[in-house]
Amino acid sequence: MQEPLAYLNGRIAPISQAMLPVYDMGIVMGASVTEMARTFRHDCFHLRDHVDRLFRSIKHVGFEMDLTPDGFVDLVLELVTINSRLIPKSHDLGVSMFVTAGTALVYTGQAGRATHRRPTVCVHTFPLPFELWAEKYTLGQHVVTPSIRHLPPECLDPKIKARSRMHWYLADEQARLVDPRAIALLLDRNDNVTETGTANFLIAQKGRVMTPPPRNTLQGISQQVVAELCEQAKIPFEQRDFQTYDVVNADEAFTSSTPYCMLPVTKINGKPIGDGQPGPIFAELLRGWDQLVGLNVAQQMETGAAERLAQLDQDS
């Protein structure tokens, strides 16, 4: 079977050859920034927005890049064109992009001599694992607020999309102690709802959609699409603080994220949200996504999940 290709530090090669050294700063200190895009019908969705956000993070943390945003876009499109040939036409790719601070010079014996690190740059793709999300369009998600709090903006500016994510790992582990299928929804130090490890969080109440403000959450590209769909549907959309109390008493809740667009949230800390079922605003906005990308998102997930699982059974 032909391997997908990946880009690592100026070289495009089979993905099995794209390996980081153990002394890369992304491994040693988690010093890396990242983005993820996806395709619809093998075309990248909002790719320029993802790349521009990546380069804003790179500029803020001070990595010195040889590639320009335009060159980076061209690189991603080249890999997507090649790797899309390896998946069924009805399936799609996730695109992972990350840049690390480069070599930890102390491990190479150069710490006393070198003052410049060349960053590590990687782009790779993967078939979207539809089976992770397919059932959730009808069953919904269960979010749990763990004891671990969201990193305050005084520690790390939330506009930086970073891979330093140990707190998210621990938070999700706590959530799974409550329910093996739950995900963590972190509160800040003032008990305001923030986000999950991979998604923005939104609630609907009395015909209005609300999401936490940009002060301490990463503003998602899919979240912005939701805002635009709300405007088209004449659904009021606002960013403001709210607490667990407001989520419990909301009519609906949902998350937005690149790989799955939107998913309903039907429980928080074991309590149903609304009637415990995906609601009408979620359904209306998801239909807007369908029209925007030219396919039925939930149907693609359901059909793709069945096909992928059947292929896995066959391969095993």
Domains 5-128 and 136-300 share a fold: no
Which pLDDT does position 112 carry in this prediction?
A: 59
pLDDT of residue 271: 98
- For the purposes of burial, counting CB atoms within 10 Å of the CB of 266, is it exposed (0-12), middle (13-18) or buried (19 or more)? buried
**How much is the pLDDT for 222?**
98
Q: What is the pLDDT of residue 116?
A: 58
Domain 5-128 in this protein, CATH class? alpha beta
- Give the model's pLDDT for residue 37: 98
pLDDT reported for residue 184: 98
pLDDT on residue 178: 97
Q: What's the gap between Cα 15 and its chain centre?
A: 21
Q: What are the per-10-residue average pLDDT scores of the chain (316 residues)?
A: 93 96 92 97 98 97 94 98 97 98 83 70 98 98 97 93 93 97 97 97 98 95 98 98 98 98 98 98 98 98 97 82
H helices of 62-165, where? Answer: 69-84, 136-139
Which H or E run includes 61?
helix 47-61
**Selection from 131, 147, 164, 151 nearest residue 57 by Cα:** 164
How many angstroms separate the CA atoms of 224 and 242, rounded?
Answer: 19
Alpha-carbon span 138 to 263, nearest angstrom: 9
Report residue 20 CA to chain centroid gap: 22
Q: Is 191 left (phi over 0), alpha (psi -120 to 50) or beta?
A: left
What is the Cα–Cα distance from 280 to 69, expressed in whole angstroms?
39
Structural element, H or E, at residue 307: helix 297-315
pTM of the model: 0.95
**CA–CA distance, 265 with 276 (Å, rounded to integer):** 8
Alpha helices in 110-220 (DSSP H): 136-139, 166-178
Q: What does the DSSP 8-state code read for residue 232?
A: H
Separation between Cα atoms, residue 71 and residue 301, nearest integer Å = 32
**Domain-wise residue ranges, the chain:** 5-128, 136-300
Q: Hey, CA dihedral for 66, 69, 70, 76, is it positive or negative?
A: positive
* Residue 25 near residue 101 (C-beta atoms within 8 A): yes
CATH for the 136-300 domain, from 1.10.3210.10, 2.30.29.30, 3.20.10.10, 3.40.50.2300: 3.20.10.10
